[in-house]
Amino acid sequence: MKTEYNQQQKQDYGGANPIEVRDTETYQKEYIQGFVDKWDDLIGWDSRAQSEHTFFIDALKERGAKKVLDVATGTGFHSIRLIQHGFEVTSADGSPHMLAKAFENARRYDIVLRTVNADWRWLNRDVHDEYDAIICLGNSFTHLFSERDRRKALAEFYAALRHNGVLILDQRNYDAILDRGFSSKHTYYYCGENVKAEPEYVDDGLARFRYEFADDNSVYHLNMFPLRKDYTRRLMYEVGFQRIKTFGDFQETYHQEEQDFFIHIAEKMYIEDEDEDEQ
């Protein structure tokens, strides 16, 4: 029999029907210790490092970024990689369980992470510095369930960047899932071996993913808001970002339907006469 929990804790949607739970705080209930402990199996550090290669490192270096705020640290994959490549990194996350795991992971590489427990919606209450770059990776922004929260989070990111800073934010290709249903079963780059990740329920306001781990048959879920690519880009422009370049699975040129992930690189710097519709 499949277990919906491990010995430590069970994901608890407060007795409600999970597909009716669509609020921004839900991530706090979902990233319980058991799931956090499994997260590194899910993302598979080695395969992830291989598939993204030096994309983020190059993108940051090209833009002269040194001081980086990782707002969705999770278990620390990007924070640790960037520190290893000479960046000065602050690691923030709204989940204390995730931050503790990231700290523990970093110790294995002789790195002491500078961590801040902060929700994006009031990021500047807890983070008092200016950064060359903010990264929000691993399909994290999808956890915000209202447009108000998305706008507020983006405005907080914008405010924590220096005048010509850059935001790098990625998302799953929800357009493909919404438009073609569950038929789009890719091997998500994000997925380690022995983990099955698939959409269990999708409508315009919810993508509920199911994660099954082969080693102990444990099952966890994430409720996420299915962001359409152009909607995310529009919100970024509306909060003030001036130039947004969107990559599909790390490529500049791509077929929208075939991509698993989009990566938006949004620049704050004002450029006279810049055209808005760059992809």
Instruction: Name the residues that contact ligand SAM, by CB under 6 A.
Output: 24, 27, 31, 43, 72, 74, 77, 93-95, 98, 119-120, 137-140, 143
According to DSSP, residue 63 is labeled: T
Q: Is 204 exposed, middle or buried (0-12, 13-18, 19+ CB in 10 A)?
A: exposed
* Residue showing the smallest CB distance to ligand SAM in the complex: 138
Question: C-beta of 33: minimal distance to ligand SAM in Å?
Answer: 13
Calpha distance 172→245 (Å, rounded):
16
Q: Which is nearer to ligand SAM, 43 or 83 (CB)?
A: 43
Question: C-beta of 279: minimal distance to ligand SAM in Å?
Answer: 24
Q: Which is nearer to ligand SAM, 65 or 169 (CB)?
A: 169
Q: Which is nearer to ligand SAM, 119 or 175 (CB)?
A: 119
Q: Where are the beta strands (DSSP E) in the chain?
A: 67-70, 88-93, 115-117, 131-136, 161-172, 195-203, 206-213, 219-224, 243-248, 261-267
Question: C-beta of 99: minimal distance to ligand SAM in Å?
Answer: 8
Helix (H) or strand (E) holding 29, with range, is: helix 26-30
Q: Which is nearer to ligand SAM, 83 or 243 (CB)?
A: 83
Question: C-beta of 277: minimal distance to ligand SAM in Å?
Answer: 29
Calpha distance 237→247 (Å, rounded):
16
